[in-house]
Structure 1
Amino acid sequence: MKEEFTLPQANLIYKPNFLQPDIAEKVFHTLHSQTNWIQEAIKIFGKEMMQPRLTHLFGEKSYTYSNITMNPDPFPEILQLLREKLENFTNNRFNVCLANLYRDGQDSMGWHSDDEKELGINPVIASISLGGARMFHLQHKTKKELKQKLVLAPGSLLIMAGETQHFWKHQLPKTKKQVTPRINLTFRQIIG
């Protein structure tokens, strides 16, 4: 099943069963235990604080966001196989994967757009969710009444493409609900 969203000025596709449950679970446990997760300091409104999630960059290029420059480790075999599956599904090339570990409901990512210059115009962001399900929010940048909420299930794929990053921002909010750890793999193409 593939579900396309009809949000204005956005190109979104959600595929809830991109990975079979046993494969999604294997990838989660492998990455959870074998990745050297780090927590970076970021500046928000001029104040430095620790990012409320753990991250790791894999791939072929460095990536800079929120004044953090991450240098990648090579794709491990398990991510190389996922990258090939994604490239076949999307007909796009991806040269980095930003892996995010949300340990519990207090780990989050605030409102932002993936609109860094090194992603080019109209980037394709392919996001695979593993582990616990979490709520994901989208909101139009100028028409605040335009909103979308979506539960990102384990093994699901969310693709944000076209003008989505120009007109929409997104977040993974904190939750007081009991949630299990979640890994989010965001594949992207760094240009230059």
Structure 2
Amino acid sequence: MDEKDGARRRPLRADAQLNEDRVLRAAAEAFTRDGVDASVKDIARAAGVGVGTLYRRFPSKELLVEATYRNEVRALCEAAPILAASSPPREALRTWMVRFMEFMAAKHGMAAALRVVLSDEGERLQTRTDLTEAVHHLLGTGVARAGVTARDVLMALGGISLIAENDQDPELAVRLIDLLLNGVLKAPTVSA
């Protein structure tokens, strides 16, 4: 994603990359469910790897949290052009918004550790820029109402995630996404 990542990482063998991908998926699920108290042993078990394999790649839980966060951001950003190319605009944007909520749930689960790991303000701003560009890509088809910006949509999604995090209704985020979509997208034209 950035030079810092590329400078410290060598390309992995295919089997090692597959193991890392499974670890990062399992870690995201565990951090979403259990927060930073998630068990590294449970993450390794869910990924189908040994604890030693996990620790060789991520020597500390903080490094695992950081890698999980970066992986989730990268996947979310990469999803935007794929969704825009493969789905109708409203469906692509809605699907991406739901994925964003899943990302935010994982991020909230890792929040305490992320404050330490991601202390660089420039890095947080770059993440916001990357996510804003992903939304811009999805809005780039001309489906948004005049005056709606990608940053507006991203900030609204952040607000929805905060509300949903503190509510006991698991469907609240999806209902609020649908309300946001109705405000963001142009009204459909009716043909006679």
Q: Same fold (TM over 0.5)?
A: no
Q: TM-score, normalised by structure 2?
A: 0.29
Richer in helix (by share): 2
Structure possessing the higher radius of gyration over alpha carbons: 2
Richer in strand (by share): 1
Highest relative contact order (Cα 8 Å, sep 6+), 1 or 2? 1
Q: TM-score, normalised by structure 1?
A: 0.29
